[in-house]
Amino acid sequence: MNLFSIAKIAAGVAVSGTILAACTVVVDEGPGYRPPPPRPTPPPVACTREYLPVCAQRGGQRRTFGNACMARAEGFSILGDGECRSGSPSSGPGSDWNRPPSGPGGNWNRPPEQRACTMEYRPVCARRGSQTRTFGNACSAESEGFQIVHNGECGRPTRM
C-alpha cells in the first residue's frame, strides 16, 4: 500500500464520520404517539417577612408560620390566625384561639416589629408594662413595643 492509498482511506473515514455525526435518531412509537409535555415547575414565591402568625396544616402536620404567604408557599392550608396551640381554631366564638396566652408575659413571644430606625440620638424614656427604659430615639423604643413616657433619658426629662 502506498501513501496515496492510505490518505484516500483516511479521507473516506473522516467523511463517513462527519456524515454519521450529523444524523439524528428518531424513535417511532407508533401512530398517534405524542411525548408527554414537560412537567410545569411552580414559580418561586416571594413572601414578605411581616409577622402575622397563622396556624396551618398539611396532611396531619400542624405548624405555625410567620404569615399566610409563607404557609401557602410550603403547601400548607391555613387553619386560623395565631400560633398553633392545643385545641382547634374552630372551637367557636368563645374560643381563645386568637388570644395570646394569659398570665405573666402573656404574649406570643412575638419578635420586635421590623422597622428601619435612624441612629439619630434624641433620647426618650419609654415604658412597656412595668419596665421603663431609655432609648436613643422614639423609633427604637416604638419598634420594641414601648410607649414613650417623655423626651430625654429616664429620670431626667428634657424638652426637644
pLDDT in tens, 5-24: 666 666 666 556 555 556 66
Q: Which of 115, 119, 117, 128 is nearest to 154 (CA)?
A: 128
* Any domain includes 36: no
Q: How many domains does the chain have?
A: 2
Q: Same domain, yes or no, for 157 and 122?
A: yes
Cell 401557602 maps to which residue? 72
pLDDT in tens, 100-146: 444 444 444 454 546 678 889 999 999 988 899 999 999 988 888 89
CATH of the domain at 147: 3.30.60.30
* Any domain includes 104: no
Residue 156: HSE in the Cβ half-sphere, 13 Å Cα cutoff: 6
Q: Same domain, yes or no, for 116 and 85?
A: no
Measured at the alpha carbon of residue 11, what is the angle toward residues 8 and 15, in degrees to the nearest 5? 140
Whole-number pLDDT of residue 63: 92
pLDDT in tens, 44-96: 678 887 888 899 999 989 999 988 988 888 889 999 988 888 654 443 333 34
What is the domain range of residue 79? 48-90
* Any domain includes 67: yes
- The conformation of residue 140, written as its DSSP 8-state character, comes to H
* Any domain includes 16: no
C-alpha cell at 80: 386560623
Whole-number pLDDT of residue 132: 93
Residue 80: HSE in the Cβ half-sphere, 13 Å Cα cutoff: 17
pLDDT surpasses 90 at 1: no
Q: Same domain, yes or no, for 126 and 156?
A: yes
* Any domain includes 13: no
* Any domain includes 41: no
* Any domain includes 40: no
Q: Same domain, yes or no, for 117 and 159?
A: yes
